[in-house]
Structure 1
């Protein structure tokens, strides 16, 4: 879908890095999809990985698929904003791809945990806007996890423990949204995006405009 229904920003704009985190079951994936569907200039970050492509996955669209040697060489060259080693596979966010998108005026959406959010902020603090999604209650979160296809009591218990560990880091974020109503939560997320786009440091033509206004051009 196009975002043509939204007012056009004045002049050139540097994109931002919209970082979303939440415990499993709080609605982060659904909110991300709603944002991507509405805004054509918000793109999901594409990670590099050493795992094998799944059927229908496209290199450069779903992931940048790398060998172990290629990935380690990228680590040595400091080409990642953040990376992790999970179950014998590497995952990372290539800096060059994100930087190109930001310079092109696109916003890049990241679905990461608190450690990933911290790493992204450390690398590019002026570009990161971080949002933490909270459930309205522990009971509501547990109910959502129980209703997931294929869930078992053991799986729900493990995810609840993981959720509590993740929630402990909520103060690290710029914004916090309580997802009691999906529609209300989405409207708040959208407002955060639109306001952050207007920040002075992201308006690339303002310096020239002001010089012109002051007769300095």
Structure 2
């Protein structure tokens, strides 16, 4: 299995490769779906037990490691982070998730790992805390808001945020917060959904004043 890789620095560059990329991905998905499992080594947990094809319809969300459970997107982002930290075993890293397989896997690779969730209620916090306890993580699930992080200026070496900013009405405020808490030369790795036929961002929710999100008429933001 192989899928055409970038990097692409412009939308035009991506569109020039679009047909080939989609064809490669379709072939890879079909090959994975036909297999009981996909052989390979997970470079996040180090296991050579292969990957589950899963029910995902694309290579981004599928291919979960049979040991640590991290999918292709999580493993790729973690690899970029680890490759760009000078000394992962001594680094301080924040990740915008905590009750997740990715957080568990990164704890074995990062010296000081700080995870958090956006927790709207104590009931949710207790449920996620129970999940962490079942997986050997002491302490409570931590609440944090990416638009107003509780960390000090320049206090971390790396920030990892996967598919979070599309849920944040003011994503620019989140990016400013990421920049604020990163030390000089720090590493930011993030992913967001990418719709290849759409050249603008679209805001689909706004705060309603009660701590929840409402869905107004869709407004494009450039």
Which of structures 1 and 2 has the larger relative contact order (alpha carbons within 8 angstroms, sep 6+)? 1
| Shorter-chain TM-score above 0.5 | no
Q: Normalised by the size of structure 1, how large is the TM-score?
A: 0.32
Normalised to the residue count of structure 2, the TM-score between the two structures is 0.31
